[in-house]
Structure 1
Amino acid sequence: MKPVLLIIAYLVAVTLPLTLSWLLGFPPRAFHLELASGLGILAFSIILMEFVLSGRFRAISRGVGMDVTMRFHQITARIALAFAMLHPFLFQGAFSGAPRPWDPSRELTITTDFSALSTGILAYLLLASFFLLAIGRTQLDYKYETWRLMHGIGAVLIAALLLHHTIYAGRYGSQPVMIVLWFTMAGLAIGSLIYVYLLKPLRDQARKWRVQSVTQLTPKQWELAVTPDGHSGLNYTAGQFAWLNVGHSAFSIKEHPFSIASAPAAGPQISFMIKELGDFTSTIGQITPDTVAYLDGPYGSLSVDGRSEPGVGLIAGGVGLAPLLGILRQMRLTDDPRKIKLIYGNRSQTQIAHKDELDEVDVTYVLSEPADDWQGETGFIDPPLLDRVFSDAEIKNWVFVMCGPPIMMDIVEDYLIKRGTPSDRILSERFVYD
Structure 2
Amino acid sequence: MRSLLMKNPVIGVGNYLGLFWKAVIWTGIAIVSLWLLIYVRLVKPYFMQKKPYLVEAVIPQRGNVWNLVLRPRGHGGIHFQPGQFAWITLEISPFRMREHPFYFASSAEKCDRIEFGIKALGDFTKTIKDVKPGTKAFLDGPYGVFTTDRYENTAGFVFIAGGIGITPIISMLFTLAERKDERPLLLIYASKTWEDITYREEIAALKDKLDLTVIHVLKEPPEDRSGETGYVDQELLKRYIPKRPATRNYFICAVPKMMDQVERALHDLEVPVTNIHMEHYNLV
TM-score (norm 2): 0.90
The Cα of 1:112 is off from its aligned counterpart by 3.0
Unpaired runs of 5+ in structure 2? 208-212
Q: Deviations over 1:306-332 (max 9, x none)?
A: 521211111111111011001101111
Q: Which residue of 1 aligns with 2:171?
A: 326
1:316 and 2:161 correspond: yes
Q: Deviations over 1:63-88 (max 9, x none)?
A: xxxxxxxxxxxxxxxxxxxxxxxxxx
* Counterpart among 110, 117, 130 of residue 5 in structure 2: 110
Contact 2:255 2:281 in 1 (8 A): no
Contact 2:89 2:139 in 1 (8 A): yes
3-state SS of 1:191 partner: helix
Q: Which residue of 1 aligns with 2:183?
A: 338
Q: Which residue of 1 aligns with 2:18?
A: 175
The Cα of 1:180 is off from its aligned counterpart by 4.2
1:356 and 2:201 correspond: yes
3-state SS of 1:320 partner: helix
Q: Which residue of 2 aligns with 1:226?
A: 70
Q: Partners in 2 of 1:231 and 1:197 — Cα distance?
A: 23
Q: Partners in 2 of 1:389 and 1:304 — Cα distance?
A: 20
Q: Partners in 1 of 2:258 and 2:123 — Cα distance?
A: 26
Structure 1 residues 387 and 352: CA distance shift in structure 2, 3 A: same
Q: State the identity %.
A: 34
**What amino acid does structure 1 have at the position aligned with 2:176?**
M
**What amino acid does structure 1 have at the position aligned with 2:160?**
I
3-state SS of 2:40 partner: helix
The Cα of 1:267 is off from its aligned counterpart by 4.1
Structure 1 residues 267 and 171: CA distance shift in structure 2, 3 A: closer
1:404 and 2:254 correspond: yes
Q: Partners in 2 of 1:270 and 1:168 — Cα distance?
A: 57
The Cα of 1:423 is off from its aligned counterpart by 1.8
Q: Partners in 1 of 2:175 and 2:124 — Cα distance?
A: 29
Query: Which aligned runs of 4 or more in structure 1 are off by greater than 4 angstroms?
Result: none
3-state SS of 1:316 partner: strand
Q: Deviations over 1:179-218 (max 9, x none)?
A: 4432320231232122122110001111001111101102
Structure 1 residues 423 and 271: CA distance shift in structure 2, 3 A: same
RMSD: 2.0
Unpaired runs of 5+ in structure 1? 1-92, 96-108, 117-166
Q: Which residue of 1 aligns with 2:108?
A: 264
Q: Deviations over 1:271-299 (max 9, x none)?
A: 01100111110101100111100111111
Q: Which residue of 1 aligns with 2:32?
A: 188
Q: Between Structure 1 and Structure 2, whose CA radius of gyration is higher?
A: 1
1:429 and 2:271 correspond: no
Contact 1:266 1:333 in 2 (8 A): no
Q: Once structures 1 and 2 are overlaid, which stretch shifts more, 316-325 or 267-276?
A: 267-276
**What amino acid does structure 1 have at the position aligned with 2:177?**
R
The Cα of 1:429 is off from its aligned counterpart by 2.4
Q: How many residues align?
A: 275
Q: Deviations over 1:47-66 (max 9, x none)?
A: xxxxxxxxxxxxxxxxxxxx
1:385 and 2:230 correspond: no
Q: Partners in 2 of 1:270 and 1:324 — Cα distance?
A: 15
* Counterpart among 225, 232, 236 of residue 80 in structure 2: 236
3-state SS of 1:335 partner: coil
Q: Partners in 1 of 2:127 and 2:197 — Cα distance?
A: 21
Contact 1:396 1:419 in 2 (8 A): no
TM-score (norm 1): 0.60
The Cα of 1:354 is off from its aligned counterpart by 1.6
The Cα of 1:110 is off from its aligned counterpart by 3.3
Larger % of strand: which?
Answer: 2
The Cα of 1:94 is off from its aligned counterpart by 3.9
Structure with the bigger RCO (C-alpha within 8 Å, sep 6+) is 2
Question: Counterparts in 2 of 1:31-430, with a 5 A limit?
Answer: 94-95=2-3, 109-110=4-5, 112-113=7-8, 116=9, 168-170=11-13, 172-175=15-18, 177=20, 178-218=22-62, 220-305=64-149, 306-360=151-205, 361=207, 362-393=213-244, 395-430=245-280
